[in-house]
Amino acid sequence: MGEKAKRAKEALEESRAELAKKQKGIDKAKALAAGKAQPTKQFWFERYKWFISSGGRLVIAGKDAHSNDNIVKKHLKDGDLYAHADVHGAPSVIVKDGAKADNDELRQGCQFALAQSKAWIAALSEGSAFWVYPDQVSKTPNPGEFVPRGAFIIRGKRNYEYHLPIELVVGEIYYQGARKVMCGPAECFKDCDRYFVIRPGRGKGGRKSSEMAKRFQVPEEEISRILPPGDVEIIREVWPSDVAVEE
């Protein structure tokens, strides 16, 4: 009986040691997770470029030729508006429920179309873009013409917006109760108290996604996928002075 009790005690001590070892590993994993930037809630429109207008309307844009085709075929509906910049390689932009949008929102959609185009890579300071109704957008070419992938034929009057600044803001918003980091025109961030104003980097800015991701405490991928193409220069920062930033 004494020998059995001794072996049972040894087995119990071994089990306790193993449990303590596992608990240590769990605690370490929790500590690492606590210090790591956690992704925010994902929405369906994040497969595209996007922002929420000053009037609360969703605006989405293609990222490449494939998504330009896809965005129009799947998401351009009656009541929406289509925006595009007069720049080669500019994305197709859809202002959801745009028929009810005000002039400021339409200008925001046009500015986004320009900023997310190759005009950003060329480091232009301003440009123009236009918006039209869904029934003016077609994939059917005129006789003798060819429409490449990601491009569309626009028929009828184009409603132009001129002198659009090639400048965007990356800031923190709340959408449907979830915290998100958004990149869009400055007018969409009136209630935001932490943001960066960005413009083309002109070969010296780099992507800056890592720096901004650290400040917003989100994974870098969440920032890099919303930025316009090319280098980014941060020209102004607005951040609460009482928020400590970990170096």
Digitized pLDDT (tens) for each residue of the chain, 247 residues in all: 888 777 878 877 888 878 877 776 665 444 444 456 889 999 999 999 999 999 999 999 999 999 999 999 999 999 999 999 989 889 999 999 999 999 999 999 999 999 999 999 999 999 999 999 999 999 877 777 777 777 888 999 999 999 999 999 999 999 999 999 999 999 999 989 999 999 998 766 677 899 999 999 999 999 999 999 989 999 999 998 755 444 4
Q: Are 144 and 173 found together in one domain?
A: no
End-to-end CA distance of the chain: 62
Is 202 a domain residue? yes
Which helix (H) or strand (E) segment is 175 a member of? strand 168-175
The dihedrals phi and psi of 212, each to the nearest 5 degrees, come to: -70, -35
Same-domain pairing of 213 and 188: yes
Give strand pairing partners of 85.
129
Element (H, E) at 106: helix 103-115
Q: Please indicate, yes or no, if residue 65 is contained in any of the structural domains.
A: yes
Same domain flag for 48 and 146: yes
Task: Please identify, among 141, 165, 189, the residue that sits at the C-terminal boundary of a domain.
Answer: 165
Among the candidates 135, 165, 195, a domain finishes at: 165
Rounded Cα gap, residues 88 and 86, in angstroms: 7
Q: Are 74 and 62 in contact (CB under 8 A)?
A: no
How many structural domains is the chain composed of?
2
Q: What is the residue range of 223's domain? A: 168-238
Cβ–Cβ contacts within 10 Å for residue 213, how many? 18
206-214 CB contacts, 8 Å cutoff, 24+ apart = 206/231, 206/232, 207/231, 207/232, 208/232, 208/233, 208/234, 212/170, 212/181, 213/37, 214/37, 214/246
Verify that 161 and 173 share a domain, yes or no: no
Residue 28 CA, distance from chain mean position: 32
23 within a domain of the structure (yes/no): no
Q: List beta partners, residue 59.
A: 51, 95
- Establish if 118 belongs to a structural domain: yes
Q: How far apart are CA 142 and CA 170, in angstroms?
A: 40
Residues 54, 68: one domain?
yes
Instruction: Choose one of 165, 193, 215: the last residue of a domain.
Output: 165
Q: Indicate if 217 and 142 belong to the same structural domain.
A: no
Q: What pLDDT is stored for residue 32 in this prediction?
A: 41
pLDDT given for residue 144 in this prediction: 76
